[in-house]
Amino acid sequence: MPLPTVHNLLHPLPSALAAEQFDSLINSANVRLERIMSQGQITPAGEWYDQAENEWVILLQGAARIAYADGTEIALQVGDSVLLPAHCRHRVSWTQPDDITIWLAMFFPA
């Protein structure tokens, strides 16, 4: 078996993103790990993520905001993490428009 090699999640990056990009890093029986890249994209107003799985997410680069169904909003900077329990309704209400924001998201059973 070849020895494990290094894969950098911060570069190289696309020069700009016309749409959010989702890259599967791990897709195992009970856990999925994804890199998500955004540049200004948000969840459409009035739409909510209402997920059957728990999601733990950390911002690796950039800046973003997440809104909850009660109107509360949290701002995320680099290194900020948040655990979104299954069925915690949320949406991405802002991502920085000028540069790529990189999320690392781990999904696991509730």
Q: Which of 14, 16, 74, 97 binds a copy of itself (CB under 8 A)?
A: 74
Q: What angle do CA 70, 71, 75 make, to 5 degrees?
A: 120
- Say whether residue 82 binds a copy of itself (CB under 8 A): yes
- Say whether residue 76 binds a copy of itself (CB under 8 A): yes
- Say whether residue 88 binds a copy of itself (CB under 8 A): yes
Binding-site ranges for a copy of itself (CB under 8 A): 1, 3-11, 25-26, 28-31, 33, 54, 56, 58, 60, 68, 70, 72, 74-85, 88, 104, 106, 108-109
